[in-house]
């Protein structure tokens, strides 16, 4: 766990006390906190830390692969008038959402019960990847000058 200094070095990131405490706040919980929650936690140890520093490091860590975003689509509300059961493919590049018919994926059955007291209403698969348009127009290969 205290390889953090080495991991920063390996990633070409400067090691700072702020980074260490921010990362520790995240790695030390199984909740899925907001930047604000991380900020509140870190402030207990570094009262003078800036919220901007928390945001900046969250992005740095995410780009470096030390963290993941739970919700790729958090930037804005996204709506769906299709009320039937179906799954979603989300493009990590353009954030487009494509419906996937329910029958295209095996039923999401629970092999183990949920934690005590939890009540399940619905289960959907979220497929993450790159959509056709983004895959075709990117640095994958410069064969495309379409669109």
Q: By CB under 7 A, name the binding residues for DNA.
A: 8-9, 13-19, 34-36, 46, 48-53, 55-57, 59-60, 74-77
For residues 26 and 70, what is the distance between their CA atoms, to the nearest angstrom? Answer: 13
How many residues sit in the footprint of its own copies (CB under 8 A)?
A: 76
48 in contact with its own copies (CB under 8 A) = no
Q: Whole-angstrom distance between the N-terminal and C-terminal Cα of the chain?
A: 47
State the binding string over 60-99 for Mn ion (x if CB under 5 A, else -).
Answer: --------------------x-x----------------x
Q: Which is nearer to Mn ion, 13 or 131 (CB)?
A: 131
Q: How many CB atoms lie within 10 A of CB 49?
A: 17
**Which parts of 84-103 interact with Zn ion (CB under 5 A)?**
91, 93-94
Question: Helix or strand or coil: residue 96?
Answer: coil
> Considering the complex, what minimum distance in angstroms separates the CB of residue 89 from its own copies?
6
Of residues 17 and 103, the one with the C-beta less far from DNA: 17
Does the protein bind Zn ion through residue 134 (CB under 5 A)? yes
Residue 11, contacted partner among its own copies, Zn ion, Mn ion, none, CB below 5-8 A by kind: none
Q: Do the Cβ atoms of 44 and 60 come closer than 8 Å? A: no
> How distant, in Å, are the alpha carbons of 19, 36, 65, 69, 82 from that of 27?
12, 16, 13, 13, 37
Alpha-carbon distance 31 to 130, whole Å?
28
């Amino acid at each position: 766990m205290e390889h953090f200094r080495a991991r920063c070095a390996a990633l070409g990131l400067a090691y700072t006390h702020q980074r260490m405490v921010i990362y520790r706040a995240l790695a030390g919980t199984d909740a899925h906190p907001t930047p604000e929650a991380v900020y509140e936690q870190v402030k207990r140890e570094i009262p003078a830390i800036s919220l901007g520093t928390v945001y900046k490091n969250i992005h740095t860590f995410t780009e470096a692969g030390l963290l993941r975003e739970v919700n790729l689509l958090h930037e804005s509300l996204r709506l769906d008038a299709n009320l039937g059961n179906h799954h979603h493919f989300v493009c990590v590049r353009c954030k487009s959402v494509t419906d996937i018919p329910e029958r295209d994926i095996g039923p999401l059955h629970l092999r183990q019960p949920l934690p005590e007291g939890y009540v399940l209403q619905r289960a959907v698969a979220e497929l993450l990847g790159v959509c056709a348009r983004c895959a075709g127009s990117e640095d994958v290969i410069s064969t495309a000058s379409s669109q």
